[in-house]
Amino acid sequence: MRLQVKYMLVMLLCFALLPAWALSLDAAKDQGLVGEQASGYLGIVATPGSRQVRDLVESVNLRRRDEYERIAARNGVPLEQVEQLAGKRAIERSQSGHWVRLPNGRWQQVP
């Protein structure tokens, strides 16, 4: 994968955690309500989630998708490739105690 795509994904992860959402997103992760998925998007760990959790996940995922689409178009790669790389990196960078959804569909708490 080209270095430019990797660089843009790092920037995307920073963008996805904007200060306006940082407390809410961090709090939701700390409480085990949401987690990162191999798809590159947030997921709700225990369904059904509250309206506030669903709204947070939807907002973050919409912004992520917009950025993934821009990265894919800019680099001439399929959207799915960008999503998968972003998901892999988000899972790898998840903090201890947070939840991640593996490609097999199972949620796992990061040790």
pLDDT in tens, 37-70: 999 999 999 877 788 899 999 999 999 999 999 9
pLDDT over threshold 50, residue 21 = no
Q: What pLDDT shows up at residue 49?
A: 75
Q: Contact, 104 vs 39, CB < 8 A?
A: no
Listed by start position, the domains of the chain span 3-109
Q: Contact, 9 vs 84, CB < 8 A?
A: no
Instruction: Look at the alpha carbons of 10, 12, 16, 18 in this order and tell me if their dihedral is positive or negative.
Output: positive
At position 85, the amino acid (one-letter code) is L
What predicted TM-score, i.e. pTM, was given to this entire model? 0.77
pLDDT over threshold 50, residue 18 = no
Q: Side-chain half-sphere of 14: how many Cα atoms within 13 Å?
A: 6
pLDDT over threshold 80, residue 14 = no
Question: In this prediction, what percent of the chain has a pLDDT beyond 70?
Answer: 79
Across the range 82-108, mean pLDDT stands at: 95
Q: Contact, 51 vs 105, CB < 8 A?
A: no
